[in-house]
Amino acid sequence: MSEVGEEMHALVRRLYPLCRSITGDGVRATLDIVGEYVPLEVHEVPTGTEVLDWTVPQEWNIRDAYVADASGRRVVDFAASSLHVLGYSVPVSATMPLAELRPHLHTLPDHPSWVPYRTSYYTPEWGFCLAQETLDAMPDGDYEVRIDSTLADGHLTYAEHVVPGRVTDEVIVSCHVCHPSLANDNLAGIAVAVFLARALAERQPHYTYRFVFAPGTIGAITWLARNAERVERVRHGLVLACAGDRGELTYKRSRRGDAEIDRVLRYVLAASGRPHRVTEFTPYGYDERQYCSPGFDLGVGSLSRTPYAGYPEYHTSADDPDFVSPEAMADTLAVCREAFGVLDRNRRYVNLSPYGEPQLGRRGLYESLGGRSDAKQAQMAMLWVLSLSDGEHGLLDVAERSGLPFDTVAAAADALHGAGLLKA
């Protein structure tokens, strides 16, 4: 089991108890912890701010909530799990019979021991989520119902972390920070993003990588509204979600379908031999649909393991830290690193000696391969790079057409460039 997988799993466990929503102190507490791993620039956007076709809502915070029976025993207790309260519940303090309370109780009859995750962001409502078996055990009678929450003018909070590159063109890596105690759908993506940022910082990448930690939908919309000028510099992007379950990796293409990030992920997954799926874009899912909306049309895809709603534990209490594994998160991280390694090195070159095959031997290029077990492959890579370096084909084109490993092709391009035979 990899050390980095264990570190990511420890971060998931640490974040798991916090009550997150699209606004509020739970988001801030989450970003405070993330900020211990990578430096963050935190943004606070006031309630009422117009962001594209939306408006930043009131801020929601909650201190306590419960349903207590006649003896005072808490049958449903927010202190035991943040999932027990309908997200964005308005405050309530009342005593009522079970028949009156029932419409406000949400369960999963098909999974009687699980607690569902439910929200009511934009409609004033209150409610509790509980296991069906708990509801079945509640006798008729009066129950004390209390939700100690506030909905008031405040802020929407999101954060950014930037890994500087050699150019100002940017790659966006986005994950949502709005779900409460859900390990795979939320926290695994955050953990992979954090450790991906740390890995990229260990080398100076070509692109500048901007990591966006924001509430789902309204957070990405807010970021886009506030970064209209920066959007012009975004060349590629990836949304991370459901990054830690034991299912096979799934890449969802951008709206364009043929963006460079789409080609890179397809190539990396296929070349790795990992079981995987590549699916077409749909305007439903995570925040790729915001970045890919037609007005922006950014080349942003989405990487997950089992996609949203594709596993029974999705949006339930069964999506706990034991549901995600260090090995799966380490595997997701490895694919991200491989993909961005290809993306960073996928250059187009021009052959500076295009009339006939240049003499490689007198430039010492053949001799540099002496003793290498892959000397023949490396030699073929040089010939392929020279053949396709017409300013129209990138190194990924070379790797795909030749069937040679991308790393071998990139090394050949470096050698040829160093010998003065290629111009970027």
**Chain segment 64-111, per-residue pLDDT in tens:** 999 999 999 999 999 999 999 999 999 999 999 999 999 999 999 999
pLDDT digits over 223-281, tens only? 999 998 889 999 999 999 999 999 999 999 999 999 999 999 999 999 999 999 999 99
Residues 64 and 73: their CA atoms lie apart, in Å, by 15
| Beta-carbon-side half-sphere exposure of residue 152 (alpha carbons within 13 Å) | 6
Query: What pLDDT, in 10s, does the model give residues 108-148?
Result: 999 999 999 999 999 999 999 999 999 999 999 999 999 99
CA angle 232, 169, 160 (to 5 degrees): 85
Confidence (pLDDT) at 373? 61
**Which of residues 152, 182, 203 is at a domain's end?**
152
Task: Look at residue 118 in the predicted model and tell me its pLDDT.
Answer: 98
Q: 165 and 45 in one domain?
A: yes
Distance spanning both ends of the chain, measured CA to CA: 40
In sequence order, the β-bridge partners of residue 237 are 172, 300
Q: Give me the chain's average pLDDT, please.
A: 96
- What pLDDT is recorded for position 365? 86
Rounded to 5°, angle at Cα 83 from 25 and 122: 65
Q: Which domain holds residue 402?
A: 348-423
Residues 197-233 pLDDT 10s: 999 999 989 999 999 999 999 999 999 999 988 899 9
Question: Which of 313, 345, 377 delimits the end of a domain?
Answer: 345
162 exposed, middle or buried (CB, 10 Å; 0-12, 13-18, 19+)?
Answer: middle
Q: Cβ distance 57 to 23 under 8 Å?
A: yes
Same domain, 172 and 296: yes
Q: Do 132 and 258 belong together in one domain?
A: no
Burial of 244 (0-12, 13-18, 19+ CB in 10 A): buried
Provide CB contacts within 8 A for 56, sequence distance 6+: 23, 45, 46, 47, 48, 49, 155, 156, 218, 222
105 alpha-carbon distance from chain centroid: 31
**In a shared domain, residues 185 and 327:** yes
pLDDT, position 409: 97
Q: 236 among the known binding-site residues?
A: no
The reply to whether 139 and 251 lie within a common domain is no
Count how many domains the chain has: 3
Residue 117 sits in the same domain as residue 161 = no
Quote the crossing angle between the two packed helices 25-37 and 3-15, to the nearest 10°. 160
Q: Is 315 annotated as belonging to a binding site?
A: yes
Specify the 3-state DSSP secondary structure of 301: strand
**Are both 290 and 334 inside the same structural domain?**
yes
In this predicted structure, what is the pLDDT of residue 59? 98
State the DSSP H helix or E strand holding residue 343, giving kind and residue range, or none if neither: helix 326-345
> The domain spanning residue 124 has which CATH number?
3.50.30.90
